[in-house]
Amino acid sequence: MHSTWIHLAGNPAGVKKGNPPFWRYRLGPRGEAHYCDSWEVTGEFDSRNNSQGTEIGADFLLWFAMFGTVVEASDPGADRREAHIQLAVPPDSLPADTEPGIKNGTVQTVRIYGAPDLVRQQQPLCWRCQIGEQVIAVKSICLLGNANATNFFPGSNFRSTKPFQRLWLTVRGSVCIDENQKATFFLN
């Protein structure tokens, strides 16, 4: 299996009903949607192998992109599908982000929510980062460091009265938000 860009997004139909699968991914910008109940990422994030994107009026409105390979595992007894994503470094021909920001702050747990309401309004703010009780809207996110099941994982609360806060990416580490409203996360 070769490495490619993997676009990870929530599955709105499952999230609205509170029924799995809650996540979906596609391989590349035109790939077919694959559905999963959960996901796990391993490997080293650097500024070249993670990104995000939006598509106004499309099925995948907002996604988090990772470069690597994906293998689906299933538990036949529980009827669950999990996507195992192994990060890789993209070829040098792909553009790299050369401004990762400055590492500062203390280790904390941050929830990263998509902001589809703002994307639909064609605002440049695509993500909301919740740090404690504070919520900050940002234009982009970048993850750096070694990913594992304890510092980067899915989160959910389907009882939330706020539809956009029912599904999120959880990051444990420190965060730097620069003057361009880019949030860089340093995984711990």
What's the N-to-C CA distance of the chain in angstroms?
A: 29
The DSSP letter of residue 12 is: H
Q: 117-133, pLDDT tens digit by residue?
A: 888 888 888 999 998 88
> How much is the pLDDT for 100?
34
Our CA angle for 183, 158, 14, nearest 5°, is: 90
Q: Burial-class residue 28 by CB neighbours within 10 Å (0-12, 13-18, 19+).
A: exposed
Distance CA 176, CA 184 (A): 5
> How much is the pLDDT for 78?
67
> How much is the pLDDT for 98?
33
| pTM > 0.75 | yes
83 and 74 in contact (C-beta within 8 Å)?
A: no
Coil vs helix vs strand at 10: strand
Taking CA atoms, 87 is separated from 5, 21, 106, in Å, by: 10, 23, 25
Q: 16-40, pLDDT tens digit by residue?
A: 888 889 999 999 877 899 999 999 9
Stretches where the chain sits below pLDDT 70 are 1, 76, 78, 93-106
> How much is the pLDDT for 80?
82
